[in-house]
């Protein structure tokens, strides 16, 4: 996420492509406390209606995240993948 925050998009993608998903989530989650109460309530309502979809999507993203990490670990251990950090 440091690479993304510093504008080094190529390095960020090479290091871990899921940073592009994690950084916006972190920014929204951190700024949530500053939102007006009405906006927070509307977001909560919308997410409550789509709870099962959000859980399924979250499970898929988590599975892909873990799979990528395991594959990258194996490839780095074998010397095939060397991230540019």
Q: 76 CB contacts (<8 Å, ≥6 apart)?
A: 82, 83
- Give, to the nearest 10 degrees, the angle between helix 37-49 and helix 51-77: 80
Mean pLDDT of 40-59: 94
Burial 7-19 (b: 16+ CB within 10 A, else e): eeeeebeebbeeb
Question: What gap in Å lies between CA 15 and CA 40, rounded to an integer?
Answer: 34
- pLDDT surpasses 70 at 83: no
How confident is the model over 50-71, as pLDDT tens digits?
999 999 999 999 999 899 889 8
How far is residue 21 CA from its own chain's centroid? 3
- pTM score: 0.68
């Amino acid at each position: 996420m440091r690479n993304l925050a510093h504008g080094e998009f190529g390095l960020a993608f090479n290091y871990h492509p899921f940073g592009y998903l994690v950084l916006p989530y972190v920014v929204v989650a951190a700024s949530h406390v500053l939102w007006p109460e009405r906006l927070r309530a509307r977001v909560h309502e919308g997410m409550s209606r789509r709870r099962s979809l959000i859980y399924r999507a979250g499970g898929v993203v988590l599975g892909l995240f873990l799979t990528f990490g395991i594959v990258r670990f194996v490839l780095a251990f074998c010397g095939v993948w060397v991230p540019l950090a």
